[in-house]
């Protein structure tokens, strides 16, 4: 009888380690994680960019149609495309309740689009406000930096905020080197570019420091960041439209 009872624990205890190893990948845990994430989101998370997506698309189409030359049409198309990608991907990423794998893919795309929209914004500005030689230099510099930023975020998606947020800010500050030349062409357009850039930078600071948290249920620091991206994009769109329509 003693030998019979001593064999029972060996049979009943063996499966436990295998169950523990499978536990992190269980569907129940994944569902619980997604539910927790959904509950922690303010209710307006993603809706600001969701509403902006069709507006950016419609405004971009109008800008392309009104552009008077082939270079300005192409530059306007790049600006419009990067804007729609930014808002559309952000809306999908923040509104959806995704699996961990899908969420990671969307996060990579969402963060990569920030670098792309910065370069996309510079494109019509360089084409319309700078000489061909100076514009070409700016485009080479900004798109090279943007591609590097995209690769950085895609390959290191979990990089700390203190590292990647300043990269976006520095990418945007490249325009400071050209403000004098922009001003000679149009002070009004230059002011719009500067105000839009300031809105983006303040938004990046809010995102980096996770402040202010105005309402846990409705409107957190991320919503402040999204509002400021809309303000920045709108200022730049108005300025770019003025520059494109004045181009000949």
- Find the CATH number of the domain harbouring 101: 1.20.1070
Q: How far apart are CA 125 and CA 175, in angstroms?
A: 10
Looking at the fold, whether 7 and 120 belong to one and the same domain comes out as: no
Q: Higher confidence at residue 37 or residue 195?
A: 195
Q: How far apart are CA 123 and CA 72, in angstroms?
A: 9
Residue 161, number of CB atoms within 10 A of its CB: 12
**Known binder of ligand: residue 222?**
yes
Q: What's the mean per-residue pLDDT of the chain?
A: 86
**Known binder of ligand: residue 4?**
no
Looking at the fold, whether 23 and 82 belong to one and the same domain comes out as: no
User: 3 pLDDT exceeds 70?
Assistant: no
Q: The pTM is what?
A: 0.81
pLDDT tens figures, 207-230: 989 989 887 888 899 999 999 999
User: 11 pLDDT exceeds 50?
Assistant: no
Looking at the fold, whether 125 and 241 belong to one and the same domain comes out as: yes
Lowest mean pLDDT among 87-91, 144-148, 238-242: 144-148
Q: Report the pLDDT averaged over residues 154-161.
A: 86
Looking at the fold, whether 85 and 21 belong to one and the same domain comes out as: no
Domain that holds residue 9: 1-40
Query: Which residues have CB under 8 Å from 209's CB, separation 6+?
Result: 221
Domain count of the chain?
2
Q: How confident is residue 37, by pLDDT bands cut at 50, 70 and 90? A: low
Q: How far apart are CA 200 and CA 247, in angstroms?
A: 26
Looking at the fold, whether 145 and 55 belong to one and the same domain comes out as: yes
Half-sphere exposure of 43 (CA within 13 A, CB side): 3
Give yes or no for a contact between 171 and 145, defined as CB atoms under 8 angstroms apart. yes
Looking at the fold, whether 116 and 164 belong to one and the same domain comes out as: yes
Return the CA Rg of the chain: 24
Q: How confident is residue 186, by pLDDT bands cut at 50, 70 and 90? A: very high
Burial class (CB in 10 A: 0-12, 13-18, 19+), 179: middle
Residue 16, number of CB atoms within 10 A of its CB: 9
Looking at the fold, whether 105 and 189 belong to one and the same domain comes out as: yes
In percent, the amount of the chain with pLDDT more than 70 equals 84
Looking at the fold, whether 102 and 222 belong to one and the same domain comes out as: yes
Looking at the fold, whether 123 and 93 belong to one and the same domain comes out as: yes
Looking at the fold, whether 31 and 122 belong to one and the same domain comes out as: no
Looking at the fold, whether 135 and 213 belong to one and the same domain comes out as: yes
Looking at the fold, whether 21 and 121 belong to one and the same domain comes out as: no
Q: Smallest Cα–Cα separation from 158: which of 194, 221, 104?
A: 104
Owner of token pair 């990269």? 167
């Amino acid at each position: 009888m003693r030998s019979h009872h001593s064999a029972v624990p060996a049979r009943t205890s063996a499966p436990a380690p295998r169950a523990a190893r499978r536990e992190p990948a269980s569907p129940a845990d994944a569902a619980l994680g997604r539910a927790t994430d959904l509950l922690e989101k303010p209710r307006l998370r993603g809706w600001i960019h969701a509403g902006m997506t069709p507006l950016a698309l419609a405004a971009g189409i109008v800008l392309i149609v009104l552009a008077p030359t082939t270079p300005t049409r192409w530059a306007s198309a790049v600006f419009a495309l990067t804007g729609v990608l930014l808002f559309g991907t952000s809306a999908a990423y923040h509104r959806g309740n995704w699996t961990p794998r899908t969420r990671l893919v969307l996060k990579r795309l969402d963060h990569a689009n920030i670098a792309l929209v910065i370069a996309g914004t510079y494109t019509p500005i360089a084409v319309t406000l700078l000489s061909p030689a100076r514009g070409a230099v700016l485009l080479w510099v900004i798109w090279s930096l943007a591609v590097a930023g995209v690769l950085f975020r895609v390959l290191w998606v979990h990089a700390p905020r203190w590292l990647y947020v300043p990269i976006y800010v520095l990418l945007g500050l490249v325009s400071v080197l050209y403000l004098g030349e922009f001003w000679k062409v149009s002070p009004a357009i230059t002011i719009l570019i500067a105000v839009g850039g300031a809105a983006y930078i303040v938004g990046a600071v809010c995102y980096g420091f996770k402040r202010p948290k105005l309402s846990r249920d409705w409107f957190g620091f991320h919503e402040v960041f999204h509002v400021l991206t809309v303000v920045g994009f709108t200022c730049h769109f108005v300025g770019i439209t003025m520059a494109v329509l004045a181009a000949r």
